[in-house]
Amino acid sequence: MSPSTTSPYAVRSSRAQALRPRLGPPLRRGVAGVAVLVAVIALGACGSEDPVLTDLPSDVASARPTISAEEARFVLAAEELGAAVTGATVDSDIETGTTTCWVLRNGGVSLDQVAVDENDALLPNTGEALRTKQLMAAGVQAFCPDHDDQIALLKLP
């Protein structure tokens, strides 16, 4: 009886058996290594939501070369809301965001009680008042997202 591929008792050639030990394990290790590398890259891409210095405006990156990921998220959130953060304003802008969150956490007030003028009226949506509200909203998004339900209280345009 000659060997066939349908017979459960097929015999492999001695040449195939001789090549298998030499090529099999290195090939399997190579494939496994590639699979692990692809998995690591995929996981890294999924879990890497932190912005990097090159994501920021160049003047902000120059002014704060050691900016934290949280602060970088603040800068990007502020810009998305319409408040331009520059190298000259980044420190005070971040302070506005962090102070907003500190007050929300420790002051027993809501965001619409913080964003008021001298007459206790909600800041208007014009000029520096609007920019302040945008920075406050960005601060909440970046530094205390547990309060992000209050951003609507700012009534941003």
pLDDT at 49 (0 to 100): 83
pLDDT at 51 (0 to 100): 92
What tens digit of pLDDT does each residue of 24-49 get? 555 545 444 444 443 334 444 444 58
**How many Å separate Cα 4 from the centre of its chain?**
58
pLDDT at 112 (0 to 100): 96
pLDDT at 26 (0 to 100): 52
Contact 140, 150 (CB under 8 A): yes
Q: Name the 3-class secondary structure at 116.
A: strand
Contact 71, 64 (CB under 8 A): yes
Contact 69, 48 (CB under 8 A): no
| pTM of the predicted protein model | 0.69
Give me the residues of the chain with pLDDT under 50, please. Answer: 7, 10-14, 16-21, 23, 28, 30-47
Handedness of CA 39, 40, 43, 44 (dihedral sign): negative
Tokens of 130: 């609007």
